[in-house]
Amino acid sequence: MSMWKKSDAEEIHFTPPPPPVVPPRTPVAQPKERAMIGPTIFIKGDLTGEEDLIIEGRVEGKIQLKQHNVIIGKHGRVQADIFGKVISIEGEVQGNLHGEEQVLLKPTSIVRGNLTAPRVVLEDGSNFKGSIDMCPKEASGSEPSPESAEAPGVSAKQ
């Protein structure tokens, strides 16, 4: 019996598959971090942070999240001035609301305080008492100072 022998022409070379193509890591929009204050939590003091905040509990003090969204849920009870990017109220707030982009009062909201934001929405059924200031940021600092009130090139000595 003869043993079968491959000829050189029949030799098969195994080439491993190429490594999987992994695209370079690019910053992907991660889901925003959100902190939550539950309905049984009571906080007295100032709140600051670098993430969105949902409040279903009670807060007394000041809330400063200028670059982030603040949501006061249906069970939320807040006695504080609130500074946020977008502020949405479903519960009760006693304090001034300062929205960098928008303040939104939902139908279940009860708000006693002043609203300051470029866009303000009072949905049908919201309970609000206070003032609303919707002046854009640019307009707030556009009043001329006493030194620049005179026309250029005109001197007071004549």
What is the Cα gyration radius of the chain?
31
At position 127, the amino acid (one-letter code) is N
Dihedral of the alpha carbons of 34, 39, 44, 50, in degrees to the nearest 10: 0
| Distance between CA atoms of residues 140 and 136, nearest Å | 7
On whether the pTM is more than 0.95, the answer is: no
pLDDT along the chain (158 residues), means of 10: 56 67 57 85 95 97 96 98 98 98 98 98 97 74 43 43
Given this model, what pLDDT does residue 52 score? 96
Contacts of 110 (CB under 8 A, 6+ apart): 91, 92, 93, 127
Tokens of 80: 């504080």
